[in-house]
Amino acid sequence: MTNFAKNILCIGAGYVGGPTMAMIAHKCPQYKVTVVDINHEKIAQWNSDRLPVYEPGLDEIVRAARGRNLFFETDVERCVREASIIFVAVNTPTKAYGAGAGMAADLQYWEKTARQIREAADSPKIVIEKCTIPVKTALAMEKILSSAYGSVRFDVISNPEFLAEGTAMRDLEFPDRVLVGSRETGQGLKARREVVDIYANWVPRERIIESSIWSSELSKLVANAFLAQRISSINAVSALCEKTDADVREVARAIGLDSRLGSRFLNASVGFGGSCFKKDILNLVYLCRSYGLSEVADYWEGVVKINEYQKERFVLTMLSAMFNTLAGKRIALFGFAFKADTGDTRDTPALCIAKSLVEERAEVVVTDPKALENARADLAGVERVAYEIDPYKAARGCDAIAVMTEWKLYAELDYERIYASMAKPAFIFDGRNILDHERLFEIGFNVFSIGKTPMAHA
């Protein structure tokens, strides 16, 4: 049997646990890395040729490390006993019940994990918060862990994950920064160093930053809030552009070249989606309210409100452009994933748009290169929705196309061919501003994009 320098465990084999541990195993062949999950089906998929998560570059790394120093398992108790360093990457969704419903983080999964660790551990463990949680959660984790009858020592570390889906492997290999927070006691600092040492195998030391545990926990929520705030800011401006003949892409370019602002995350869109932005901001809002900071809470809540407004606005634009009725009209949704290069559809704007269109009695055809299976599950029971992998077939006979996801392939389609196959007048609503609008107008489409005066034929 190989003797590994460290025995690392991750509880939770989702979008974060799987790719993050695959990267550690890839970069550190001297460590044994195990990922455990209560979902047996998911673990079977991780052990198969069809991984449960689609990320460019992930398959290759998993294939090379699996069975060598990367293992996917279901026996949580045994895995906890064997590991000395335990990452916790379980889900922390928005609470759907009781106090704080619709706002607070639902901490039942991580709390259960803390109890599982406490019950199974018979030697010291470093327990790492990888999931996104409210600031001060480590305190609760420490209390649960230290209420064991035995004398096992636990050190809780905060090491939030900043990867974005679709670019997860690149983000993990070349992170802007890795953040490790701990208690600032002798023992806390020692545990912090152990975690820093793992990343130091491939991340330049100056990119590994250390802080108090509370700053680390809070930084994760604040990072997501700032990113989402930029999108809501440019989306708010897009509404004004549409009223004033300005072009939001030109405005974004002009402000983004100011080095104090930077050019990234200024793409106006149909709205941000994904499992985290909305949930993490609502969590931040709830925290602020619970500390009596209502003005601060209102400020951040505005980011989510603008996002909802942007999605509603998109459907209203479609409705008014198409002569105030969508009943019986066929509309192809180009893309269902919440962003390109992922099959993830959690909180995707496409879901909300699809449902609104169906409420208007439209016939919806969904196409997406990676997310059709999830789209089917998300829209189960919703009538008047069809699914088609081929965008050309999806658009055939349609009155309109609405681009929901910025998949590169949608910018490269033959729109003359598509136009010829559609009902007339034909409309395109580009919810991601990825198409060549002038060219589409020349072909004959009525073109509606985000933050730009519509181009409609008389």
Among ligand NAD, ligand UGA, none, what does residue 131 contact (CB within 5–8 Å per kind)? ligand NAD
Measured N-to-C along each axis, helices 277-290 and 294-321 cross at an angle, to the nearest 10 degrees, of 150
Among ligand NAD, ligand UGA, none, what does residue 39 contact (CB within 5–8 Å per kind)? ligand NAD
Among ligand NAD, ligand UGA, none, what does residue 267 contact (CB within 5–8 Å per kind)? ligand UGA
Comparing CB distances to ligand NAD, the nearer of 166 and 271 is 166
The reply on whether position 17 binds ligand NAD by CB under 6 A is yes
Among ligand NAD, ligand UGA, none, what does residue 266 contact (CB within 5–8 Å per kind)? ligand UGA
Comparing CB distances to ligand UGA, the nearer of 329 and 339 is 339
Q: Find the part of the chain contacting ligand UGA (CB under 6 A) among 87-95, 158-166, 240-248, 439-447.
A: 158-166
Alpha helices in 343-457 (DSSP H): 349-359, 372-378, 391-395, 408-411, 415-421, 437-443
CA distance to 3, 93, 287, 369, per residue, from 109 (Å): 32, 9, 19, 32
Tokens (6 digits) for 296: 């601060």
- Nearest residue relative to ligand NAD (C-beta): 14
Contact 33, 17 (CB under 8 A): no
Tell me how far apart the alpha carbons of residues 319 and 324 are, in angstroms, rounded to a whole number.
5
Closest contact distance (angstroms) between CB of 414 and ligand NAD is 34
The reply on whether position 309 binds ligand UGA by CB under 6 A is no
Tell me how far apart the alpha carbons of residues 148 and 131 are, in angstroms, rounded to a whole number.
23
Q: Nearest CA to 79 among 36, 47, 108, 119?
A: 36
The reply on whether position 273 binds ligand UGA by CB under 6 A is yes
Comparing CB distances to ligand UGA, the nearer of 152 and 164 is 164
The reply on whether position 11 binds ligand NAD by CB under 6 A is yes
Question: Which are the contacts of 211, defined by CB distance < 8 A and separation ≥ 6?
Answer: 179, 180, 181, 219
Binders of ligand UGA in range 324-343 (CB under 6 A): 338-339
Tell me how far apart the alpha carbons of residues 413 and 126 are, in angstroms, rounded to a whole number.
51
Tell me how far apart the alpha carbons of residues 47 and 32 are, in angstroms, rounded to a whole number.
16
The reply on whether position 231 binds ligand UGA by CB under 6 A is yes
Closest contact distance (angstroms) between CB of 279 and ligand NAD is 7
Tell me how far apart the alpha carbons of residues 182 and 193 are, in angstroms, rounded to a whole number.
10
Among ligand NAD, ligand UGA, none, what does residue 79 contact (CB within 5–8 Å per kind)? none
The reply on whether position 227 binds ligand NAD by CB under 6 A is no
The reply on whether position 300 binds ligand NAD by CB under 6 A is no
Q: Exposure pattern of 199-226 as b/e (b: 16+ CB <10 Å)?
A: beeebeeeebebbebbebbbbbbebbbe
| x/- map, 239-278, ligand NAD, by CB under 6 A | ------------------------------------xx--
Among ligand UGA, ligand NAD, none, what does residue 451 contact (CB within 5–8 Å per kind)? none
Q: How many residues does the chain have?
A: 458
Residues that bind ligand NAD (CB under 6 A): 11-17, 36-39, 42, 76, 89-92, 109, 112-113, 116, 131-132, 161, 163, 165, 275-276
